[in-house]
């Protein structure tokens, strides 16, 4: 079967631009609203979708995504709802890669094998787990790989040369570079540090490099897109959902459209 993640990066590269990766929390503000938001992301021009699994204790997230988690859980979102959202998305969008992102506990609660099988059946292409580093890979990695679901790892400003191979071992799909040592949200990395980090990562892997954390404006997205294979935007979209609730979809589409336009205008990734 064709690898939707690889295809999406190849497609963007062929168009001479970085891929746009967008994050929203599943079930925010309610499970029934998420389909329209996901469609808006795709219509706005997102190449890959990260669907956040809500968790009561999102330790790596800033206030925007913390609030999104709370809204989702307050609306009664269950793990079953997340898989239902994913399954329906896959039916509507056969070719757009869908990645589940979240924390370990909801993923392993019923066993990693159960989670991996559900993800596969729902048409999920990859999983990002914030709090399972390579050292604890056995908790989730083998089950995902056995099902052919990508385990996408994070590299950070603290991931040095000596450690990078451990991060890359067993990771696939793409490498997510967390550009700031910190939580999701408003803090932004200097472009020069991103340029340097992406060059360092590219010397270690052939995987596409996506850069996220603190990316908010089309200008920032374009600057990052000029060096990276993908740009991840999350908190800024989640804030729009926080502001507009069930009516957020058109606003999300406009904002994502502005990000995509900025990426389209740029030179091919080096």
**CB closer to other proteins, 43 vs 139:** 139
Q: How far is the CB of 139 from other proteins (least distance, A)?
A: 8
**CB closer to other proteins, 83 vs 89:** 83
Question: Under 8 Å CB-to-CB from 203, ≥6 apart: which residues?
Answer: none
Give the count of beta carbons closer than 10 Å to the beta carbon of residue 161: 9
**CB closer to other proteins, 27 vs 44:** 27
Q: How far is the CB of 116 from other proteins (least distance, A)?
A: 15
Q: How far is the CB of 49 from other proteins (least distance, A)?
A: 22
Q: How far is the CB of 107 from other proteins (least distance, A)?
A: 7
DSSP code, position 162: T
Cα distance between residue 248 and residue 258, in whole Å: 16
Cα distance between residue 213 and residue 82, in whole Å: 23
**CB closer to other proteins, 44 vs 212:** 212
Binding site for other proteins (CB under 8 A): 55-63, 66, 73, 78-79, 103-110, 130-136, 139, 153-160, 163, 167, 178, 180-183, 187
Residue matched to tokens 């000596």: 162
Q: How far is the CB of 154 from other proteins (least distance, A)?
A: 5
Question: Under 8 Å CB-to-CB from 24, ≥6 apart: which residues?
Answer: 34, 37, 38, 41, 49, 50, 51, 52, 68, 234, 237, 238, 241, 252
Cα distance between residue 29 and residue 179, in whole Å: 28
- Cα end-to-end distance, the chain, whole Å: 28
Active site residues: 50, 61
**CB closer to other proteins, 76 vs 148:** 76
- Beta-strand runs (E) in the chain: 19-25, 48-52, 98-102, 126-129, 150-151, 154-155, 175-178, 209-212, 230-233
For residue 62, the surrounding DSSP H or E stretch is: none
């Amino acid at each position: 079967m064709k690898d939707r993640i690889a295809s999406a990066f190849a497609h963007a590269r062929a168009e001479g631009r970085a891929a746009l990766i967008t994050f929203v929390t599943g079930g925010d503000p309610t499970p029934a609203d998420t389909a329209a938001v996901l469609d808006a992301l795709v219509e706005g021009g997102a190449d890959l979708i990260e669907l956040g699994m809500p968790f009561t204790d999102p330790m790596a997230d800033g206030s925007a995504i913390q609030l999104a988690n709370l809204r989702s859980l307050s609306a009664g979102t269950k793990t079953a709802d997340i898989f239902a959202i994913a399954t329906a998305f896959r039916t509507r969008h056969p070719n757009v890669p869908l990645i589940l992102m979240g924390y370990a506990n909801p993923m392993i609660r019923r066993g990693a094998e159960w989670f991996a099988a559900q993800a596969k059946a729902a048409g999920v292409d990859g999983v990002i787990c914030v709090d399972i580093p390579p050292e604890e890979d056995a908790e989730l990695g083998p089950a995902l790989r056995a099902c052919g679901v990508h385990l996408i790892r994070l590299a950070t400003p603290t991931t040095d040369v000596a450690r990078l191979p451990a991060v890359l071992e067993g990771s696939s799909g793409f490498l997510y570079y967390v550009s700031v040592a910190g939580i999701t949200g408003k803090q932004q990395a200097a472009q020069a540090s991103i340029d340097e980090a992406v060059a360092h990562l590219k010397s270690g892997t052939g995987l596409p490099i996506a850069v996220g954390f603190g990316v908010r404006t089309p200008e920032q997205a374009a600057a990052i897109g000029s060096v990276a294979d993908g740009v991840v935007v999350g908190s800024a979209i989640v804030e729009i959902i926080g502001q507009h609730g069930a009516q957020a979809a058109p606003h999300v589409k406009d904002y994502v459209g502005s990000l995509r336009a900025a990426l389209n205008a740029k030179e091919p990734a080096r």
